[in-house]
Amino acid sequence: MRWLLCGLTIALASCADHPSEGWSTGEAWPENVRTVAVPAVGNTSYYREIGPELTRAVIEAVERRTPFKVTDELHADSILTIDIKKVKLNTISQSSLTGLAQEVIVQLTIDWRWEDLDDNRLLAGSKAFSGTGLFVPTQPSHEPIEVGQRQVVNRLAADLVDRMHAAW
């Protein structure tokens, strides 16, 4: 029992106050950032509806998975800008009878930047950040492309928040 107590005391004494200083039980997010502005996602692709859907998914992921509140640019500590660079459909399998696509992957590629608005310092970001979603357009499912788009934007939003967190 004494050894367990001694070990616990040493372990707690060796923890840092902040994760940037070593092992810590504290939160690994920037201390000076409390709010994030998420403007509408830029989109130059032919898939117009995917931009607003990605904006919504990112806002929900930031508010659900981070300590930050999403607000407008005038009141925000930081800004998260996202630009859709490419939306691509890749056929995985085709019907041997009709030649039609049975399974299709929607691949979405974005560039994103998370910046501190006080000093314009880059907090995190990535170019050619990509995610995928699957839909089945043929019998018996008859899924519309929106099923794959919804999957990819939700997955990409979650991955983006993970990358924001990994930067700290």
Q: What is the pLDDT of residues 108-131, one digit of tens each?
A: 999 999 999 999 999 999 999 999
The secondary structure of residue 32, as a DSSP letter, is T
Which of 11-20, 117-126, 153-162 has the lowest average pLDDT? 11-20
User: Residue 14: is its pLDDT beyond 60?
Assistant: no
> What mean pLDDT do residues 55-61 have?
98
Phi, psi of 40, rounded to the nearest 5 degrees: -55, 140
Pairing mode, if any, of strands 78-94 and 42-43? parallel
pLDDT for the residue numbered 75: 96
**Residue 1's CB: how many other CB atoms inside 10 A?**
5
Does residue 26 have a pLDDT over 70?
A: no
Distances (CA, A) of 68 to 29, 36, 109, 114, 155: 9, 7, 25, 13, 19
* 87 token code pair: 């939306």
The average pLDDT across 99-107 equals 90
Instruction: Report the share of the chain in percent with pLDDT over 70.
Output: 84
* pTM (two decimals): 0.81
Whether pLDDT at 167 is above 70: yes
Q: How confident is the model at residue 29 (pLDDT cuts 50, 70, 90)?
A: confident
Query: Which is the CATH superfamily of the domain at 32-166?
Result: ABC-type transport auxiliary lipoprotein component (3.40.50.10610)
> In the chain, how long is the greatest CA-to-CA distance?
74
What residues pair up with 24 in beta bridges, in sequence order? 16
Mean residue pLDDT across the chain: 87
Q: Tokens for 98, please give them.
A: 């009709």
User: What pLDDT sits at residue 19?
Assistant: 47
Domain boundaries defined on the chain: 32-166
